[in-house]
């Protein structure tokens, strides 16, 4: 996703969503984001939650980079890239990104990247902790993930785990 600061400087946001729990696992904000940034975020998530089995992402250069390919190869993670110009290939995260845009990005003016990071992270935490989803039986993503974790370790859900990444 892309937006701009009050002074007109553009910034980008990498959104990482776990399709199984539908938690927003990370929203990385930066002036520009590259393959190294994607790998850093994925590695942090993997250390906390276990390695995903599949990454579904668009065809941006940060997702088709050698550094991400190498990381995926060494960690036995499959990368599924959506077709150019086909946002319906990944409708779930497009819906999430639309909510992020309407409720956070369009609702705030950010003076600098630090403020953008802080407000976006606050929104992400609120989204996970305070938003019941009908598909989850009116539970929040965090409640659903805790229930799954209580029944079995989330990192053990390798066959069910699918992370979705989109950076537009």
pLDDT digits (tens, 9 = 90+) for 116-143: 999 999 999 999 999 999 989 999 999 9
Is pLDDT of 146 > 70?
Answer: yes
What's the predicted TM-score (pTM) here?
A: 0.86
Domain that holds residue 82: 2-166
Query: Is the pLDDT reported for residue 104 higher than 80?
Result: yes
CATH number at residue 103: 3.30.420.10
pLDDT higher than threshold 50 for residue 159: no
How does pLDDT run across 34-74, given as a tens digit for each residue?
999 999 999 999 998 888 888 888 877 788 789 999 999 99
167 pLDDT more than 50: no
C-alpha–C-alpha distance, residues 64 and 14, integer Å: 14
Query: 3-state DSSP helix/strand/coil percent for the chain, to nearest 5?
Result: 45, 20, 35
Task: Please tell me the total count of domains within the chain.
Answer: 1
Question: Is the distance from CB of 14 to CB of 37 less than 8 angstroms?
Answer: yes
Q: Please, are residues 96 and 1 in contact by the beta-carbon 8 Å criterion?
A: no
Query: Does pLDDT of 158 surpass 50?
Result: no
């Amino acid at each position: 996703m892309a937006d701009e600061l009050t002074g007109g400087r553009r910034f980008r946001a990498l959104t990482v969503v776990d399709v199984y729990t539908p938690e927003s696992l990370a929203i990385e904000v930066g002036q520009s984001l590259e393959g190294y940034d994607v790998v850093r975020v994925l590695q942090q998530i993997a250390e906390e939650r276990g390695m995903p089995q599949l990454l579904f992402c668009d065809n941006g250069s940060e997702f088709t980079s050698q550094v991400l390919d190498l990381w995926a190869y060494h960690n036995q993670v499959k990368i599924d890239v959506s077709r150019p110009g086909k946002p319906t290939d990944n409708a779930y995260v497009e819906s999430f990104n639309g909510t992020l845009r309407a409720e956070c990005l369009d609702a705030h003016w950010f003076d600098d990247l630090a403020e953008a990071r802080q407000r976006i992270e606050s929104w992400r935490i609120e989204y996970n902790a305070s938003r019941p989803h009908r598909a989850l039986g009116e539970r929040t993503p965090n409640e659903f993930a805790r229930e799954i974790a209580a029944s079995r370790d989330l990192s053990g859900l390798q066959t069910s785990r699918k992370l979705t990444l989109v950076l537009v």
